[in-house]
Amino acid sequence: MDRAETQAPPEALTVVPLRHYGLWVGTAITLVILGLILKALATNPAFDWPTVGKYLFHPSIIRGLGQTLLLTITIMVLAIIIGTIVAIMRLSPSRVLNAFASAYIWFFRGAPALIQLIFWFNLSLIVREFSLTLPFVGTLFTIKTNDVMTPFVAAVIALSLHEAGYMAEIVRAGINSVASGQTEAAGSLGMNHRLILRRITLPQAMRFIVPPTGNETINLLKTTSLVTIIAVNDLLYAAQSIYARTFETIPLLIVVAFWYLFVVTILSIGQHYIEQYYGRSDQQQGASLGETLRRAFRFGRVAQPA
Amino acid sequence: MTSKAENQARFGVPVDSMVFARGVRKSFGNAEVLKGIDLNVPTGSVACVIGPSGSGKSTFLRCINHLEEVSGGVLLVDGEFVGYDLRHGKLYEVNNKLLCQRRADIGMVFQSFNLFSHMTALENLIEAPIMVRGMSKGEAKDKAHALLERVGLSAKADAYPRQLSGGQQQRVAIARALAMNPKVLLFDEPTSALDPELVGEVLVVMRDLAESGMTMVVVTHEIGFAREVGDQLIFMDGGVVEERGEPREMIANPQSPRTREFLSHVL
Ligand SMILES: Nc1ncnc2c1ncn2[C@@H]1O[C@H](COP(=O)(O)OP(=O)(O)OP(=O)(O)O)[C@@H](O)[C@H]1O
Ligand SMILES: [Mg+2]
């Protein structure tokens, strides 16, 4: 080795980075493919961007979007409530409650959402009417199943029972993640079971419950498009009704995809703030919003090599 | 006759007794962990419990506040069964509400602190007084600040447990127990999880408590603390009290060979 080189002061040494030829080739190929896609998007007449613009804020599309959001929120709220109850039953010392909860999760999580949806919509094939009859008083009221089981109600029942199966497992895992010493300390302070659950266990479990629940909400948003099959007037159904008449299929599907992506983006931002709220006792700087969005859409560099 | 006086007469409990155990047994399945423990802790005194791992010290403490149900014997706190009421010669399990009320009077400090990790130090202190005792928020906060000052942590009121050292966490945990105005405080190896240089600050707080007249049952390996602060020393081994006595005397001159051997390891 050259003498002068070995004796050079350390700050004079330059670092020559390793050349990642494979990375360059991969990047080049990706750029070419991206270019081709953009060219196709811009020039292929089937995409018909002016039509997309025309329908983006079309009243029936907006109404459909509203219906989709209403469905998602209603179902998710119900699923969280039912799921939490099932999770608590699953963790209870009672064998019967425990077995019931397990069976619930097994069935409603296992049976395909589409089948459950069609089943509830066709409930009148099994039960024609509901009536309340009291001894000595007689029948108080009778309602026909078909009158109650509107497509919207069927969709809410079917999908919230289905989703609750997933939520139950998420909540249970969250509760189990809380150290048993917390319950013991609370018990020694004279707090009862319900108080401990509400004030100690669940708030701590939230840190583990929120991220998967955010994923479930995003999933559910898209799953609600199944309801078109029982003619609930949601976003996809609204688009289908239009292109059934005008045959502008692709532009309308782009409109639908745009709105789904838009809502998912909003949900991801909301999830970020909720996670930060429940992680505040950790005090490590929460990931920045940009970071979260990047993670949500998997662009940019996701994982740093260790 | 009150149930307390009735119990005291029936079981021959000294009038000033805070914790009274006679023949306390506890089994987990087939394994008998406590095989008849006798103990009397007079009000305002400090009982220190030592013994090898697995001898049943924690189990006994947990029986005192009914975190574990005893399998046999009599265990009274301030003259009352914690989990039961004695009526017509039978022990009736008390309802949940009453059990919680009685537990609220028995403070417990754990080896692993067990502070509520999603709450600040202050929130840890006011939680049970507000939710269990129905104290107003303002009053609970005033009291909490005073207690944090007492354990030397008034500057840490808004810190989360994760931001505190082990010694600080344990002092907050002691303050949390004190916030309920307990009749008696149980300590389960409160300094065992601490780095040696942090043990002292917790022992100072405990010594201060003992001097202020708090009734304490302390499971510990700190023989120095037992000697200087304890009013009685109990050596447990294999689920029985192997030896008991005045701490200085017993440490200086243990009678049982098991005690002698154990002390030679920890001293
Ligand atoms: N919930 C439980 N179920 C079954 N066995 C248990 C349970 N809790 C404790 N034991 C057993 O009881 C015995 C005494 O345990 P305990 O925790 O009271 O000992 P210890 O004296 O506190 O020991 P250490 O100094 O290690 O804390 C041990 O053998 C332990 O395995
Ligand atoms: Mg122990």
Ligand 1: residue whose CA is nearest its atom 4:
B28
Are B235 and B137 in a shared domain? no
Could you tell me the CA-to-CA distances from A247 to A197, A240, B127 in Å, in that order? 55, 9, 63
Q: How far, in Å, from the CA of B53 to the mean position of ligand 1?
A: 8
Q: What local confidence, expressed as pLDDT, does residue B60 receive? A: 96
Domain carrying residue B121: 107-181
Q: What is the pTM of this model?
A: 0.81
DSSP-derived 3-state class of residue B108: strand
CA distance B250 to chain A (A): 32
Same domain, yes or no: B139 and B27? no
B98 and B119 belong to one structural domain = no
Report the C-alpha gap between B174 and B18 in whole angstroms: 19
Q: Residue A68 above 90 pLDDT? A: yes
Last residue of a domain, one of B181, B199, B233: B181
Residue after which a domain boundary falls, among B181, B207, B239: B181
| Amino acid of residue A113 | A
Q: Is B14 in the pocket of ligand 1 (CB under 6 A)?
A: no
B55 CB less than 6 Å from ligand 1? yes
Cα–Cα distance for residue pair B211/B216, rounded to 1 Å: 11
CA triplet B216, B218, B222: central angle to 5 degrees? 135
Domain boundary among B138, B160, B181: B181
Q: How confident is the model at residue B87 (pLDDT cuts 50, 70, 90)?
A: confident
Closest residue to atom 29 of ligand 1, CA basis? B54
**B25/B74 same-domain check:** yes
Please indicate whether residue B28, judged by its CB atom, sits closer than 6 Å to ligand 1. yes
Side chain identity at B158, as an amino acid letter? D
| Maximum Cα–Cα distance across chain B | 55
Please check whether residues B93 and B130 belong to one and the same domain: no
Give the Cα separation of B30 and B180 in Å (integer): 36
Measured in whole angstroms, the distance separating CA A60 from the mean position of its chain's CA atoms is: 25
Q: Which residues contact B180 (CB under 8 A, 6 or more apart)?
A: A189, A190, B104, B105, B107, B128, B129, B132, B133
B22 and B98 in a single domain? The answer is: yes
Whether residues A282 and B132 touch (CB distance < 8 A) is answered with no
Q: Which two tokens stand for residue B198?
A: 């942090």
Distance A35 CA to ligand 2 centre (A): 67
pLDDT in tens, B23-53: 999 999 999 999 999 999 999 999 999 999 9
Closest Cα of chain B to A173: distance in Å? 18
Q: How far apart are CA B47 and CA B236, in angstroms?
A: 13
Whether B210 has its CB under 8 Å from any CB of chain A: the answer is no
Q: What are phi and psi of B180, to 5 degrees?
A: -90, 5
Note whether B56 and B124 are same-domain residues.
Answer: no
Flag whether residue B134 sits within 8 Å of chain A, measured between CB atoms. no
Strand order in the sheet with B46-50: B106-109, B184-188, B215-219, B46-50, B232-237, B240-245
Q: Please count the structural domains in chain B.
A: 2
Q: Do B116 and A200 touch (CB under 8 A)?
A: yes
Summarised one tens digit per residue, pLDDT across range B136-168 is 999 999 999 999 999 999 999 999 999 999 999
Are residues B143 and B90 part of one domain? no
Distance A274 CA to ligand 2 centre (A): 38
Q: Does B95 touch chain A (CB under 8 A)?
A: no
- Regarding whether B141 and B52 lie in a shared domain, the answer is no
Same domain, residue pair B99 and B114: no
Q: List, for residues A160-205, the tens digit of each pLDDT value.
A: 999 999 999 999 999 999 999 999 999 999 999 999 999 999 999 9
From the CB of residue A52, how many other CB atoms can be counted at a distance below 10 Å?
17
Between chain A and chain B, how many beta carbons pairs sit less than 8 Å apart? 73
Interface membership of B69 toward A (CB under 8 Å): no
ipTM of predicted assembly, 2 dp: 0.92
Closest CA of chain B from A205, distance in Å: 10
> What domains can be seen in chain A, in order of their start residue?
74-279 (1.10.3720.10)
